[in-house]
Amino acid sequence: MNSVNKTLYIPLYGKSYVSKKGLFLDDRKAEEIWGTEGFSLKGKSKSKWLAYYLGIRSAVFDEWLKRQMADAPNAVVIHIGCGMDSRVIRVGTKNHKWYDVDFSEVIEERKRYYVETDSYKMIAGDARESKWLSSIKETQYSIVIMEGVSMYLTVDEMRNLADSLCAHFEKLALLVDCYTSFAAKMSKHRNPINDVGVTEVYGIDNPQDYQNGELAFAKEHTMIPEKYIDELKGFERFIFSKLYAGSFSKKLYRLFEYKKN
């Protein structure tokens, strides 16, 4: 795998770690895959603080997706940059068609652990291109999630993706987490993704940067809700709240929702 693809091991470890501790997520599939493969991570990539952050981030995405699916029973779900994530198991497809999308070598690896069904499909595709969208026949309404992906795409590439999604779907809801420009600069020196060879990332400060003529910024969400911080106790709760929550966190990470109505 190339260096960007290898970043999938970092959230996989984080979700396995918090699931074993009974925090934030029940992710038995992450535990299974991590335990079976025994990937090698080093340095900050195996920080428990980062694991807590990644576990909470995934829980926030899961909650948002469940609400969207409940409000739109006929929508299709698209998880761009799915990696080895088990969101399709955690959330469940219910009556929705669900597509997990990632690079071909990631999907090849993923198929060792996940099985396609009538309602669940895996698509090999690059978010920077639109060819993979032709594999999706539904065109009415899509709920799209991009967790830990936008920082590897330039603003132009994100806008091109927005154009492609809007051209394919009549209606669209998108949730995406982003680095700020400050975080992108800092990532050249201090970021766990450096441990797997990634050195170039991108950030935005204005959520309107990803808008196009049809896809509009809807709202900003809290990345680290207090209820999840409260699952930690004592010293860990104090340290985590200082490192990953509050005003300092917003200088680094943001969570934006977009809509095409």
Output the pTM of the full model.
0.91
Q: Which position has the token pair 């450096």?
A: 194
> CB–CB of 46/12 below 8 Å?
no
Q: What's the CA gap between 85 and 219, in Å, rounded?
A: 25
Model pLDDT, residue 219: 97
Range of the domain at 213: 3-260
pLDDT in tens, 224-236: 999 999 999 999 9
**What is the pLDDT averaged over residues 227-256?**
90
The DSSP 8-state label assigned to residue 55 in this structure reads H
Tally the domains of the chain: 1
Share of the chain above pLDDT 90, in %: 75
Q: What's the CA gap between 214 and 66, in Å, rounded?
A: 24
CATH of the domain at 154: 3.40.50.150
> CB–CB of 3/35 below 8 Å?
no
Work out whether strand 120-124 and strand 98-102 pair parallel, antiparallel, or are unpaired. Answer: parallel
Whole-number mean pLDDT of the chain? Answer: 90
Model pLDDT, residue 199: 60
Sorted by sequence, the CB contacts under 8 Å of residue 126 that are 6+ apart come out as 103, 132
- Residue 180's pLDDT band, with cuts at 50, 70 and 90, is very high
Res. 194: pLDDT tops 90: no
Model pLDDT, residue 188: 65
Model pLDDT, residue 1: 45
pLDDT in tens, 113-150: 999 999 999 999 999 999 999 999 999 999 999 999 99
Give the residue from 195, 197, 221, 193 showing the smallest Cα distance to 207. 221
- Residue 9's pLDDT band, with cuts at 50, 70 and 90, is confident
